[in-house]
Every structure is written in structure tokens, then in C-alpha cells.
Amino acid sequence: MNDSPARLPLRTAAAVKLGNLSSTLSQKMGLGAGGMIGGRVALKLDPQALNRLTQGRRVAVVTGTNGKTTSTMMLARAVGALGEVATNHSGANMPDGHVTALSKQPDAPYAVLECDEAYFPAVAGASNPSVAVILNLSRDQLDRVGEVRTIERSLRDAINKLQNCTIVANCDDVMVTSAAWNASKVVWVATGTGWHHDSASCPRCGSPIQWQGEHWHCTGCDLARPHPNWITADEAMITPEHQKLELRLTLPGKFNQANAVMASAAAHAMGVSADEAVRRLRGVSNVSGRYRTIQRNGRSARLLLSKNPAGWSETLTVVKEANHPAVLVINAQEADGRDLSWLWDVPFERLQGRTVIASGERATDLAVRLTYAEVQHTIVPDPLKAIDQMPQGAVEVIANYTAFRDLNARAAADE
């Protein structure tokens, strides 16, 4: 199983070659990062490309609403202990992004693929994964991705079809637990994180879910929090062998500890020891520009990405410790979801008393939300100008998907 990937059929090889050429051209002509176009060309020429490109490799697929990119990077780092790993970066997490990543490293015996939750059934079906990591499921881009229960149902069906695959699942998330409940092999991870607002009722039978501390169970069927194999403790994790390992992550926040433990459990399932996994993933510091700090005229601005209510809620907790001024950047392009109703599910009230600027293409929608949250603010649609208008010193910048992507690219160009 672990030797080098099978030789590609001529059609796939040609498709991959043309695809790689498109990526290079796209980068050279400044059209894009080349993360997807190559894969798009290859998939057009050979629809089976993903299946063929994963043959002979050991594949891990990572999905969920939040933390995919970070967990994928951590897992790829950890699996690097075993050999070369092909992996998709910067959120190019649909099949064209996978084909691009795999084509660039045709000889890597391992692949770690971040996968958009809507594409999980297709990607898992095509790539015969050894490990599938299901991080969490909560409301996100309802107009594009659909409702959480629909996603849970499609993941459940896809997982039940997988053969010889270890599912690494977050048992503190009711939706994830339901999706993985009937899988033949599951490793349960207590992440200590969870957004409970989408799981008042059981995704299987509709009865109320009852919580008692960390434990939860359905009052109508047998769905209940499984006994975890891995546990996220305070800044540490407890392995199935009851070994306690300090995490000492570079990345901030409780949700990154959860990502690290999920990645360690997945790496362990791929054959990496727990200490080795943690030692390797600890160094992850800058995930496609997230968490990095940029310097602008005496301001050091930390860039944070948050895409949905659960993500924003966690990020507001991270920025809570220091009372730094905050620039909040909101777009509503197709990739963000066009409907901004979710802004009302974010507890912006926590920013009361802080210096806040509303920014982004939909700064006024955010300003309305902040007005009703009684958070004093000004509106500066351009996020770089917003940073410049803050007092000198530390500034937190929280942006949603396309807002973050564009800001990150502009900040990188300025450096």
C-alpha cells in the first residue's frame, strides 16, 4: 500500500501535464495563485483524475465547517514524519484544488486533502481514504451550502459507504457524532468545543437533545456522546494510552487546540506516534496568512479569519484577553454567502467599550448590527485604511472569507 503511487494512465498523465501548465501560466500572468485552475483543466480532460491520482497513496480527507485549513496543515505536518505528503493549501478545497495539489506531487505516497463539506461525498468516494476527519458542523453560508441537517445527512451516507476507513470524529458535536455513528471504525475525540445552537433536536429522530455538563444524549433514540478515545485538556491532550501531552501551540485559541488534537488522532491513525505528531504540528504558525501580524505605520495588525457564527464566536473569545482596537471586515460575495443574516447570531455585544471600525464591502450591514449591539464604531470600507486610522500599537483585524483573502493579498503586496 505504501509504495509510490501507481503509474498514471496516459489520459490522466496528459491531463495532469496540461493542468500543471495552466497553473504555471495562471501564476505567471498574475491571474491567480494557480490553486484551482490546473485542477479544473485536468478534471475537464479526465473526470476520473482524482480517483487515478490518489491510487496507491494513503489518503486522509479533512472536512467540517470550521478549522479545515488549519487541521489539514497540522495533519500534513505530522504525516510528514512518514514520507512526502501532497496537500492542498490556501483553501482550494474542492476537487479541482485536490487534483492540482496531487498533480504537483505525483510521487508523494501520502495525501492530506482539505475538503469542502458539500464535496465530501464525491471526494471520499473517488479517493478511497484511509482516514476521514470530521471536525464540526454548524450553520455556514446557508444560501450556498444548505442547511446543517442536509449536510449531516450527506456526510452520514458517504461515511457509511467507506470501506477500510478510520473516521476521526468530534464527539462533542452532535451533528458530527450522528454522521459518524454507524461507521465501522471510529476514533472519537473530545474537543471541548461545540456550537450547540444547531443541535437542540436530534438529527436522527428529532427528539430533544439533553446536555449534562459535557455529556449529551438524545431523549428519543440511542444517539449519545460516545466515550472519547482522545481528550482535549487545558493546553494538553490525553491519548488513548492515557498519556498526557502538552500541546504548546504557536496558534492561539481553544479551537486550535481542538484542531491539534483532531490532527494528532488522525496522524496516529495514519501511523505516526502521538508525541511525534504534536512535536511536528506545534510549529504551525501562519495558515495561509491567518494569525500573521502585519506592520503598518506603527500599527501591528493581527489578521484573523472567521466565516460564520461559530467561528466569530470563537475568535471574539481569542481577542477578548487584550482590549485592543478591532477592525471587522465583512463581504458577502458568493463564496461568503450572500445572506448576512448570520451577523445577528454573532455576539458582537462583547466588543462594547472597545474602539471598533466596521469595514468591508458590507460595512454598513455590520454597522447596523453594531448599532443594535450598542458598540460604538465608525465605518471605513477599505480595511487597510481602517487599520491606518486606528491608534498606534496592536490592532485585531477579523475578516470573513473573501474579505480576508483580498486583505491578505494586498498586505502581502505591500510588504
Helices (H), 271-400: 274-281, 309-318, 363-372, 383-388
Q: Is 221 annotated as a binding residue?
A: yes
C-alpha 46/C-alpha 97 separation (Å) is: 14
Instruction: Rule CB under 8 A: say whether 311 interacts with other proteins.
Output: no
User: Which of 293, 344, 392, 409: binder of other proteins (CB under 8 A)?
Assistant: 344
Site map for other proteins, 236-275, x if CB under 8 A? Answer: ----------------------------------------
The residue (of 46 and 140) whose beta carbon lies closer to other proteins is: 140
Instruction: Rule CB under 8 A: say whether 384 interacts with other proteins.
Output: no
Strand 230-233, strand 236-238: pairing:
antiparallel
For residues 198-227, which are near other proteins according to CB under 8 A? Answer: 198, 200-201, 203, 206, 208
Instruction: Rule CB under 8 A: say whether 380 interacts with other proteins.
Output: no
Residue 270 Cβ vs other proteins, minimum distance, rounded to whole Å: 35
Instruction: Rule CB under 8 A: say whether 376 interacts with other proteins.
Output: no
Q: Is 218 annotated as a binding residue?
A: yes
- 339 carries an active-site annotation: yes
180 touches 169 (CB < 8 A): yes
Nearest to 255 by CA among 317, 344, 342: 317
62 touches 112 (CB < 8 A): yes
Instruction: Rule CB under 8 A: say whether 352 interacts with other proteins.
Output: no
Instruction: Rule CB under 8 A: say whether 394 interacts with other proteins.
Output: no
User: Which of 4, 6, 84, 147: binder of other proteins (CB under 8 A)?
Assistant: 147
Residue span binding other proteins (CB under 8 A) among the ranges 18-26, 148-156, 249-257, 287-295: 148-156
Measure the N-to-C terminal CA separation of the chain; round to a whole number of Å: 44
SS3 69: helix
The residue (of 344 and 414) whose beta carbon lies closer to other proteins is: 344
The residue (of 365 and 406) whose beta carbon lies closer to other proteins is: 365
Residue span binding other proteins (CB under 8 A) among the ranges 53-61, 116-124, 137-145, 292-300: 137-145
140 touches 116 (CB < 8 A): no
Q: What are the distances in angstroms from CA 2 to CA 114, 166, 184?
A: 21, 17, 23
User: Which of 142, 145, 224, 233: binder of other proteins (CB under 8 A)?
Assistant: 142
75 touches 59 (CB < 8 A): no
Residue 274 Cβ vs other proteins, minimum distance, rounded to whole Å: 37
Residue 118 Cβ vs other proteins, minimum distance, rounded to whole Å: 15
21 touches 74 (CB < 8 A): no
| The amino acid at 383 | P
Instruction: Rule CB under 8 A: say whether 122 interacts with other proteins.
Output: no
Residue span binding other proteins (CB under 8 A) among the ranges 48-56, 125-133, 285-293, 334-342: 334-342
User: Which of 17, 149, 217, 296: binder of other proteins (CB under 8 A)?
Assistant: 149
Instruction: Rule CB under 8 A: say whether 368 interacts with other proteins.
Output: yes
Catalytic site residue from 107, 143, 157, 339: 339
78 touches 247 (CB < 8 A): no
Strand partners, 145: none
- In the block, cell 486606528 appears at 390
137 touches 64 (CB < 8 A): yes
State CA 62 to chain mean position distance.
8
What are the phi and psi torsion angles at 60 (to 5°)?
A: -120, 135
Residue spans of beta strands (DSSP E) within 89-229:
110-114, 131-134, 166-170, 186-190, 209-212, 215-218
Nearest to 181 by CA among 127, 231, 217: 217
Site map for other proteins, 151-180, x if CB under 8 A? Answer: ------------------------------
State CA 220 to chain mean position distance.
32
Residues making up the annotated binding site for Zn(2+) are 202, 205, 218, 221
Give the residue numbers annotated as catalytic, written as ranges: 339
- Residues at the interface with other proteins (CB under 8 A): 139, 142-143, 147-150, 197-198, 200-201, 203, 206, 208, 338-345, 364-365, 367-374, 379
